[in-house]
């Protein structure tokens, strides 16, 4: 009868990792590892990998709506288990210029101008990219369309990309 239900998974493994990897961080916060095979129980906010996919859909803007200009008033670092294979596969999908710009706006560590030659085996590079793409989360901020200036809010980690009725009218 309960085929549709499944119990919540407890995330005891995760908290150990937090303490080991990021001693200065908020240890109460669980994280949601990506590519690690385990589902976390904490909340996840907007990450730069996601920002890299976002584009303005304001009428008439088209491809000039990418990338959205990211401003953040509240950011947190949420450790994620490092999965090199995952990052290697993700690198070719990244729009690099957009990532550079976003990382810059968040005052993050210097991101390489482009993927390093032989990045697949360069752990330092991969770890850096892992950090930038998956561990930096925006809780509060804005995303601005570079063409129209329209601002989309990020609140409680959730971007709201809805346009108003007037903006979407055909």
Nearer to another protein, 13 or 110 (CB): 13
Instruction: State the residue for tokens 């919540």.
Output: 8
Considering the rule CB under 8 A, would residue 53 count as an interface residue with another protein?
A: yes
Binding another protein (rule: CB under 8 A), the pick from 61, 77, 116, 161 is 161
Whole-number Cα distances in Å, 125 to 84, 98, 113, 119: 10, 18, 12, 7
Q: Evaluate whether 148 touches 133 at the Cβ level (below 8 Å).
A: no
x/- mask, another protein, residues 7-26, rule CB under 8 A, reads: xx------------------
Considering the rule CB under 8 A, would residue 163 count as an interface residue with another protein?
A: yes
User: How far is residue 163's CA from residue 108's CA, in Å, rounded to a whole number?
Assistant: 30
Contact set with another protein (CB under 8 A): 1-8, 30, 32-47, 49-50, 53-57, 63, 66, 85-86, 88-90, 93, 95, 152, 156-163, 165, 168-170
């Amino acid at each position: 009868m309960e085929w549709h239900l499944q119990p919540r998974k407890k995330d005891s493994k995760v908290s150990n990792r937090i303490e080991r990897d990021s001693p200065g961080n908020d240890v109460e916060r669980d994280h949601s590892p990506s590519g690690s095979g385990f589902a976390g129980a904490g909340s996840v906010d907007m990450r730069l990998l996601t920002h890299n996919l976002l584009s303005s859909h304001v009428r008439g803007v088209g491809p000039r709506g990418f990338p959205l200009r990211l401003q953040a008033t509240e950011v947190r670092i949420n450790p994620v288990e490092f999965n090199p294979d995952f990052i290697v596969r993700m690198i070719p999908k990244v729009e690099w210029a957009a990532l550079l710009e976003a990382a810059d706006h968040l005052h993050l560590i210097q991101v390489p101008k482009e993927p390093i030659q032989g990045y697949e085996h360069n752990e330092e590079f991969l770890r850096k990219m892992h950090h930038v793409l998956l561990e930096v989360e925006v809780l509060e901020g804005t995303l601005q369309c570079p063409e129209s200036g329209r601002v989309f809010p990020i609140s409680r980690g959730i971007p709201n990309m809805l346009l108003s009725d007037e903006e979407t009218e055909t």
